[in-house]
Copies of this chain bind each other. A is one copy, B any other.
Amino acid sequence: MLEQSDDTTRPRSLSRLLFGKPLATVDLEHQTVNRLVGLAVFASDALSSTAYATEEILFILALAGTGSVILGLSLQLALAIAVLLIIVTISYRQTIYAYPNGGGAYIVARDNLGEVAAQIAGAALLTDYILTVAVSVSSGVAQIASAFPALLPFRVQMALLVIVVMTVVNLRGVKESGTIFAIPTYFFLGTMFLTLAVGVYRYFTGTLGVVTGIEVAETAVQPLTLFLILRAFSSGSAALTGIEAISNGITAFKEPRSHNAAVTLQWMSTILIVIFLGITFLAHQIQALPSESETVISQLGRLVFGDGTILYLAMVAGTALILLMAANTSYADFPRLAALHAGDGFLPRQLTYRGGRLVFSWGIVTLATLASLLVIVMKARTTALIPLYAIGVFLSFTISQTGMVVRLLKIGKLKPGEKVQGLETVMTYDPHWRLKSVISAIGAFCTGVVMLIFAITKFTSGAWFVILLIPVLVFAFFRVHHHYKEVAEALALQEKHYDIVTHPVQTVVLIDGVHAGTLQLVDFAKSLGHPWRAVHIGVNPERTRRARQVWDEKIGEGELVVIPSPYRQLNRPIRTYIKQMLKENPNAFVHVVVGHLAMDSAWKQMLHQNSVLIFNMALSGLERVVVTIVPFQIRREESQEGVVDRNRFTRQDLRRDGGD
């Protein structure tokens, strides 16, 4: 009910301040971004992974020792990952052109491979978006703690604060958050390129030096095996995560969407490769060591610029910022993807509602909640989160590119110039279909292999959880879908025309005590013009006696039925009574009228029994029984809206005497 908070006066101003003024639905298409902002919004995830990818490779290799030969492997692994990145980029470029309305793995899979593949890809991606937020925020906080060790004990609290701020920013809407996030992204790129340039210059002039005084992580505990090298490779390939963000978010780009998105993708991949290789190269030269207390990036910065210098601090700040902002990619994509699932009836419908600021508020809040839980459980440690991470991304890469292969094979069967309407897009003959399908196939194969490496080498350190989770999610998605189908069938109108049928109505007024609110209840019941009676549930004999007495004295009209309730329950006796009425009136509606004392604040409301909820719960399972709530205003304001009869409701005058 996020979009409802605008109604009352106080929440409106707070909500305005935090989230901005509501936007009309027609404003939807204006909320698009150009390439430069698009790079900031969608590339921060991919670019930020350079902040930890090198380190994660070193963490694994160091298990076999910290000699130059062993850690030197990191450079070769980084090159292999760069090649993989190029393949995936070319392959995804094709997807962007084929699906100008957004070509995430979910859509491509749904279009070409069917519902099950689509749900698997979607489950994998949704899981990974949540992990992206947790990993990026945790790693960003770790960078800050590298520069200011005093903050180390507050990592979890800091991470949660970041998530809260990011949630508020995103509830304001994508364009404004794009502008906000452009600054840190370009700040990161500036400081990072400067670091690499100065570092390479000092390397060639022989003034770079080596890292000393690092408290190294677990090291030299096992031999260097192929398995270990593959583990290091898969850890490093976390650098690829986030590359799919642009293809999911094509619709957020200005026209021509596909072209702008594709160019942005190429920029992003190029920058990513340069930074990743540069960091890995320099890290090897300075003999950086993986450590729990200082990140490799911070070690590099200290050596290049000198400890405590402004440039060092700017570089650490830039890295921290890009990491903290990287989570924003997920804030852009998770709600969009969740809305797609929900639109197809595989997730709760509420996820498709756009809030006051045109964003999918429920999706944003869901993402923030789950990521926060993950940060708390994993205590904001990046290395603990990495094994959970990336497996889902590579699974979705594989599915998406396999879908493209299927699509291109179909296109290959068309005659030149022929067009076929697919589920999502129009397929036109393409003379290059063979080359393109081979590219996609290579991409699918490579990412599939990496996924398997990931699943096997990280299985015991956490990947098992994701491998278990994804099928569970897919099962849940199909259960939800089944439910919506069932409801749709139940609600279907089969016949050509329906006559509206009237039935007799029996009115039952539920009363507790007899007071000013009761009068209004009975007024309404009598105004309805159907046979009516008052019913009192006798929980407390003294109360019952008094209710009967006041009823007879002050009202003296209609029948007051008392249902005894020796076990002091409200719902069971009334349910039994109403069922009996249904039996006696097999063709009538039973109209239950309940009073509700409406207070002017939630706190005051909590001081009352609010039995309306109880009665609704008790009776909502009965067909032909409708419950009416008659509110009676107990409010502080002097100006009442629409009082039926001012002479009767003397309550305001009373208040003026006895009030504070």
Assess whether B633 is in contact with A524, with CB atoms less than 8 Å apart. no
| Given A490-B655, A644-B623: A527 and B503 interface contact (C-beta under 8 Å) | yes
| Measured CA separation A353–B350 after assembly (Å) | 37
Residues 200 to 234 of chain A near chain B (Cβ within 8 Å):
none
Chain B residues, CB < 8 A from A633: 621, 623
Taking A25-B540, A500-B523, A622-B631 as given, write out 20 further A-B residue pairs in contact, using a Cβ cutoff of 8 Å, ordered by the A residue number.
A1-B613, A24-B566, A25-B541, A25-B568, A26-B566, A348-B607, A349-B608, A356-B569, A483-B604, A486-B655, A491-B517, A503-B644, A505-B528, A589-B644, A596-B620, A621-B631, A623-B632, A623-B643, A624-B644, A629-B629
Assess whether A515 is in contact with B493, with CB atoms less than 8 Å apart. yes
| Given A596-B620, A644-B624, A654-B492: A570 and B500 interface contact (C-beta under 8 Å) | no
Contact with B along A495-511 (1 / 0, CB 8 A): 11111111111000000
Chain B residues, CB < 8 A from A516: 490-493
For chain A, which range describes its interface: under 10, 10 to 19, 20 to 34, or 35 or more residues? Answer: 35 or more
State whether the Cβ of A422 lies closer than 8 Å to any Cβ in chain B: no
Whole-angstrom distance from the CB of A110 to the nearest CB of chain B?
21
Identical copies of this chain, number: 2
Residues 308 to 328 of chain A near chain B (Cβ within 8 Å):
none
Look across to chain B and name the residue whose beta carbon is closest to the beta carbon of A579: B641
Whole-angstrom distance from the CB of A461 to the nearest CB of chain B?
24
Whole-angstrom distance from the CB of A660 to the nearest CB of chain B?
7
Assess whether A497 is in contact with B556, with CB atoms less than 8 Å apart. yes
Whole-angstrom distance from the CB of A199 to the nearest CB of chain B?
46
Assess whether A486 is in contact with B658, with CB atoms less than 8 Å apart. yes
Chain B residues, CB < 8 A from A485: 658
B348, B568, B624, B658: the one contacting A3 at CB < 8 Å is B568
Assess whether B641 is in contact with A4, with CB atoms less than 8 Å apart. no
Assess whether B519 is in contact with A498, with CB atoms less than 8 Å apart. yes
B349, B640, B641: the one contacting A609 at CB < 8 Å is B349
Whole-angstrom distance from the CB of A360 to the nearest CB of chain B?
11
Look across to chain B and name the residue whose beta carbon is closest to the beta carbon of A566: B24
Q: Show 25 A/B contacts (Cβ-Cβ < 8 Å), sorted by A.
A: A6-B572, A7-B569, A25-B539, A25-B540, A349-B609, A355-B568, A356-B567, A483-B604, A486-B659, A487-B608, A491-B513, A491-B651, A492-B515, A492-B654, A493-B516, A496-B554, A498-B519, A500-B526, A501-B648, A502-B529, A529-B529, A620-B631, A623-B642, A626-B629, A628-B629
| Measured CA separation A194–B636 after assembly (Å) | 66
| Measured CA separation A526–B498 after assembly (Å) | 14
Contact with B along A93-108 (1 / 0, CB 8 A): 0000000000000000
| Measured CA separation A650–B494 after assembly (Å) | 9
State whether the Cβ of A374 lies closer than 8 Å to any Cβ in chain B: no
| Measured CA separation A558–B499 after assembly (Å) | 11
Look across to chain B and name the residue whose beta carbon is closest to the beta carbon of A572: B7
Residues 582 to 620 of chain A near chain B (Cβ within 8 Å):
582-583, 586-587, 589, 591, 593, 596-598, 604, 606-609, 613-614, 616-620
Contact with B along A465-488 (1 / 0, CB 8 A): 000000000000000101111110
Chain B residues, CB < 8 A from A539: 25
Chain B residues, CB < 8 A from A349: 607-609
B522, B550, B628: the one contacting A628 at CB < 8 Å is B628
| Measured CA separation A500–B556 after assembly (Å) | 9
State whether the Cβ of A638 lies closer than 8 Å to any Cβ in chain B: no
| Measured CA separation A613–B28 after assembly (Å) | 28
State whether the Cβ of A190 lies closer than 8 Å to any Cβ in chain B: no
Chain B residues, CB < 8 A from A571: 4, 7
Chain B residues, CB < 8 A from A619: 631
Whole-angstrom distance from the CB of A650 to the nearest CB of chain B?
6
Assess whether A25 is in contact with B502, with CB atoms less than 8 Å apart. no
Assess whether A500 is in contact with B356, with CB atoms less than 8 Å apart. no
State whether the Cβ of A373 lies closer than 8 Å to any Cβ in chain B: no
Assess whether A634 is in contact with B1, with CB atoms less than 8 Å apart. no
Chain B residues, CB < 8 A from A378: none
State whether the Cβ of A18 lies closer than 8 Å to any Cβ in chain B: no
State whether the Cβ of A409 lies closer than 8 Å to any Cβ in chain B: no
B356, B557, B568, B654: the one contacting A354 at CB < 8 Å is B568
Contact with B along A560-575 (1 / 0, CB 8 A): 0000001111111001
Chain B residues, CB < 8 A from A554: 493, 495-498
State whether the Cβ of A90 lies closer than 8 Å to any Cβ in chain B: no
State whether the Cβ of A67 lies closer than 8 Å to any Cβ in chain B: no
Whole-angstrom distance from the CB of A100 to the nearest CB of chain B?
21
Assess whether A527 is in contact with B505, with CB atoms less than 8 Å apart. yes
Chain B residues, CB < 8 A from A529: 502, 529-530
B491, B498, B555: the one contacting A648 at CB < 8 Å is B498
| Given A354-B568, A483-B607, A651-B490: A626 and B617 interface contact (C-beta under 8 Å) | no
| Measured CA separation A466–B607 after assembly (Å) | 25
Residues 524 to 555 of chain A near chain B (Cβ within 8 Å):
524, 526-530, 539-541, 550, 553-555
Assess whether A630 is in contact with B626, with CB atoms less than 8 Å apart. yes
Assess whether B566 is in contact with A618, with CB atoms less than 8 Å apart. no
Assess whether A482 is in contact with B660, with CB atoms less than 8 Å apart. yes
Whole-angstrom distance from the CB of A264 to the nearest CB of chain B?
30
Look across to chain B and name the residue whose beta carbon is closest to the beta carbon of A553: B497
Chain B residues, CB < 8 A from A650: 494
Whole-angstrom distance from the CB of A582 to the nearest CB of chain B?
4
Assess whether A587 is in contact with B492, with CB atoms less than 8 Å apart. no
Whole-angstrom distance from the CB of A646 to the nearest CB of chain B?
11
Contact with B along A1-42 (1 / 0, CB 8 A): 101101100000000000000111110000000000000000
Assess whether A654 is in contact with B489, with CB atoms less than 8 Å apart. yes
State whether the Cβ of A627 lies closer than 8 Å to any Cβ in chain B: yes
Please name the 8 residue pairs, one residue from A and one from B, whose CB atoms are nearest each other, closest first.
A491-B515, A490-B651, A24-B566, A628-B628, A582-B642, A502-B527, A22-B567, A620-B631
Assess whether A631 is in contact with B642, with CB atoms less than 8 Å apart. no
State whether the Cβ of A164 lies closer than 8 Å to any Cβ in chain B: no
State whether the Cβ of A514 lies closer than 8 Å to any Cβ in chain B: yes
